[in-house]
Chains A and B, each alone.
Chain A
């Protein structure tokens, strides 16, 4: 079946540090991959997406590249800000309408 595994948190970084949150997936065929973010007190919102191999999704300084050979979709940002503190969810969709989410990774950025 379809599943997503992402690194466990919490991740604590100082402002301007480099961020990587690992995500790997299991799926048949060619899923679409997503990163969603949940800021404190808010609903989940789409951060970025990639729909085919080698696509790079990017938004708000975050990037993730769809790597079919390693079944990965790692989230990166070169310089995090305090406002990036949130929970990040990797997700996939595979020939259906349901998203399969990972467990989420909590990020805390300190000044």
Chain B
């Protein structure tokens, strides 16, 4: 069990550029979640996958955001035409239970949009 890994750890980009983050969940976990966390706030739910199916999306996930989990293993989160308000820590979590009994979180990707 190597834990949930996220790449990159930090990303600095200019406004208007596209960025993509990757998450590798714990191997036997079929559920994967993306959260966003800004300074002084708790994590906010963005989206959830069960295997390759995206089953739930928050209204926070604007049209510029897209997430995929093509083979039910790793996941990517892409942000198109980044804005300064997108600056945040993007967290990935995984679990193998039917409900959110226990999520395992990665260390996150810190995005800074200049």
Contact = CB atoms under 8 A, between A and B. Distances in A.
Contact of A97 (B4, B44, B100): B100
Interface in B22-42: 31, 33, 40-42
Interface size class of A (residues with CB under 8 A): 20 to 34
Interface string B97-114: 001111111111000000
B98 to A, nearest CB: 9
A44 interface: yes
Interface residues of B, number: 26
Interface of A: 4, 32, 34, 41-46, 49, 89, 91, 93, 96-104
Given A43-B105, A43-B108, A97-B48, A103 B99 contact: no
Contacts of B91: 43-44
Given A97-B55, A98-B45, A45 B105 contact: yes
A89 B103 CA distance: 13
Interface of B: 3-4, 31, 33, 40-45, 48, 55-56, 58, 91, 93, 99-108
A101 B102 contact: no
Given A43-B107, A104-B42, A97 B101 contact: no
Given A44-B43, A91-B42, A102-B42, A97 B108 contact: no
A98 B56 contact: yes
A98 B58 contact: yes
Contacts of A49: 101-102
A101 B43 contact: yes
B41 A97 contact: no
Nearest to B56: A97
